[in-house]
Amino acid sequence: MTGARTATTGVVGARVPRLEDARLVTGAGTFVDDVTRPGLVHACFVRSPLARARIGEIDVSEARELDGVLAVYTAAELNPIAREISYDLDMAGMPPVPRPPLAEEEVRFVGDPVALVLATDRYIAEDAAELVIIDYDPLDPVVDYVTAADSPNLVHAGFAGNSAGEMGGRPAGDLQPIFDAAAHVVRQHIFQQAYLPVPMETRGLIAEWSAPTAEMTVWISTQSPHEVRAFCARLIGADEHQVRVIARDTGGGFGLKQLPLREETCVLLAARDLGRAVKWIEDRQENLMASGMSRHEHAEAAMAFDAEGRILAASIAHVQNVGAYPTPSPIIGGIPVGILFPGPYRVTETSFSAKFRYSNTVGRVAYRGPWQFESVAREVLLDHAARRIGIDPIELRRRNMLRRDELPWANPNGMTYDNISPLETLEQAVEMLDYEGFRADQRNARAQGRYLGVGTCTYVEPTTGATPFLATEGATIRIEPTGKVNVYVAGGSAGNSLETTVVQLTAEALGARLADVRTIQGDTAITPFGGGTGGSRSGSMTAGAIEQTAAVLRAKIRAIAAQRLHTTPEEIDLADSRATVRGNPDSGLSLRDIADIAYFQADSLPEGVTPGLEASGRYKTPQIAIWANATHVCTCEVDIETGEVTLLRYIVSEDCGPMINPNVVEGQIYGGTVQGIGGALYEHLPYDEDGNPIATTFLDYLLPTATEVPTIEIGHVTTPSPGPGSFKGVGEGGAIGSAPAVLNAVVDALSPFGIEIRELPLSPSRIVELLDRARETER
Span 760-775, pLDDT tens digits: 999 999 999 999 999 9
pLDDT for 470 equals: 81
CATH of span 297-466+623-778: 3.30.365.10
pLDDT for 644 equals: 97
Beta strand 517-521 with 451-463 is unpaired
**Cβ-Cβ contacts under 8 Å for 746 (sequence gap 6 or more):** 453, 455, 636, 638, 645, 680, 681, 762, 767
pLDDT for 329 equals: 87
Whole-structure pTM value: 0.96
- Nearest in space to 455 (alpha carbons), one of 758, 750, 740, 753: 740
Span 85-143, pLDDT tens digits: 999 888 778 888 999 999 999 999 999 999 999 999 999 999 999 999 999 999 999 99
**Cβ-Cβ contacts under 8 Å for 210 (sequence gap 6 or more):** 216, 217
Is the pLDDT at 777 greater than 70? The verdict is yes
Q: Find out whether 199 and 257 touch, Cβ atoms under 8 Å.
A: yes
In three-state secondary structure terms, 268 is: helix
Percentage helix, strand, coil for the chain under 3-state DSSP, each rounded to 5: 35, 25, 40
Confidence of residue 710 (pLDDT cuts 50, 70, 90): very high
Please list the residue range(s) of the chain that carry CATH number 3.30.365.10. 21-29+472-620, 297-466+623-778
Q: Find out whether 316 and 301 touch, Cβ atoms under 8 Å.
A: yes
Confidence of residue 193 (pLDDT cuts 50, 70, 90): very high
Confidence of residue 4 (pLDDT cuts 50, 70, 90): very low
Question: What's the order of all strands across the beta sheet hosting 451-463?
Answer: 451-463, 626-638, 645-655, 712-716
- Nearest in space to 234 (alpha carbons), one of 272, 278, 263: 272
Query: What is the average pLDDT value for the chain, to the nearest integer?
Result: 96
Is the pLDDT at 467 greater than 80? The verdict is no
Span 599-626, pLDDT tens digits: 999 999 999 999 999 999 999 998 889 9
pLDDT for 6 equals: 45
**Cβ-Cβ contacts under 8 Å for 535 (sequence gap 6 or more):** 463, 464, 465, 467, 470, 729, 732
**Cβ-Cβ contacts under 8 Å for 443 (sequence gap 6 or more):** none
State the CATH architecture for 21-29+472-620.
2-Layer Sandwich (3.30)
pLDDT for 334 equals: 83
The dihedral sign for the CA sequence 262, 266, 272, 275: negative
Beta strand 614-620 with 472-479 is antiparallel
pLDDT for 9 equals: 62
Confidence of residue 509 (pLDDT cuts 50, 70, 90): very high
Q: How far is CA 95 from CA 150, 356, 362, 465, 681, in A?
A: 20, 11, 19, 22, 34
Give dist(CA 240, CA 227) in Å, integer: 11
State the CATH architecture for 32-139+202-250+257-290.
Alpha-Beta Complex (3.90)
pLDDT for 776 equals: 86
DSSP state of 140: -
Q: How far is CA 207 from CA 82, 236, 278, 727, in A?
A: 15, 12, 5, 37
